[in-house]
Amino acid sequence: MARSAHNEVTDSGAFDPSPSTFRSFVSRDSSARFAAAPGRYHLYVSYSCPWDCRCLAYLKLKGLDHVIRFTWVKPVFERTNDHMGWVFPAAGDEEPGAEPDPINGAKSIREFYEIASTKYAGKPSVPVLWDKQLKTIVNNESSGIIRMLNTEFNEFAENPGLDLYPAHLQASIDEINELVYEGINIVYKCGFAKQQGPYDEAVTKLYEALDKCEDTLSRQRFLCSNQITEADVRLFTTLIRFDEV
């Protein structure tokens, strides 16, 4: 398995990200192993990552940032012994937009994966939704985390009536998500490509998808209807850092 994103480039020079490993789900059911509760979970993110910022957007939109606190790592990979990955600063004033780990005093995200699974050999990625009670990773897939935030913490949310994945729009949202994921969210395929062929292929898909979204948004306010949905959040967090990152 890949030890970092740098190891996920194929022999042809194309970027091929590996799937997330931890895919458990927090439930509103109080008897569930991972039951929704204020203060039980902590989110680890990088401000430079659009996948992570989906989760932050949901915390704010749903009014859950008082229920699930979050900590941000340094925005650029650093070496920790035998791997390159996300690290925490040693002090709060070391780097703007990053802070030391307040839960386990970890120096890198990799340490959380090693606590959660002594046999884990994959990529230590963010976001990480950490269960402070069971001392393990619940989920490290942003698309799963935002679905939990949308529904499972409504009892504690300041904006519980906001449904970003309403039943009557789910088919449309899923369709847009697929287009945006393959064409725009995976803009990394352009950045990590090591050969011209894979780069050209990725760039062509990127701008085709951008054109399709531009056409849709020239005719309506949001991607799927007249209301904001998950599809808009997933697109926005990539677009807003398109030039900068």
Q: What is the C-alpha to C-alpha distance for residues 63 and 209, in angstroms, rounded to an integer?
A: 31
* DSSP sequence for 37-68: -TTTEEEEE-TT-HHHHHHHHHHHHHT-TTTS
Element (H, E) at 72: strand 69-72
What is the C-alpha separation between 186 and 60, in angstroms, rounded? 24
d(CA 165, CA 229): 6
The answer to whether 188 is a known catalytic residue is: yes
Q: Is 12 helix (H, G, I), strand (E, B) or coil?
A: coil
* Catalytic residue from among 49, 53, 55, 224: 49
Residue 153 · residue 65 · CB < 8 Å? no
3-state secondary structure of 79: strand
Could you give the dihedral angle defined by the CA atoms of residues 4, 8, 9 and 14, in that order, rounded to the nearest 10 degrees?
-130
Which of 41, 113, 188, 199 is labelled catalytic?
Answer: 188
Residues with a catalytic annotation lie at: 49, 188
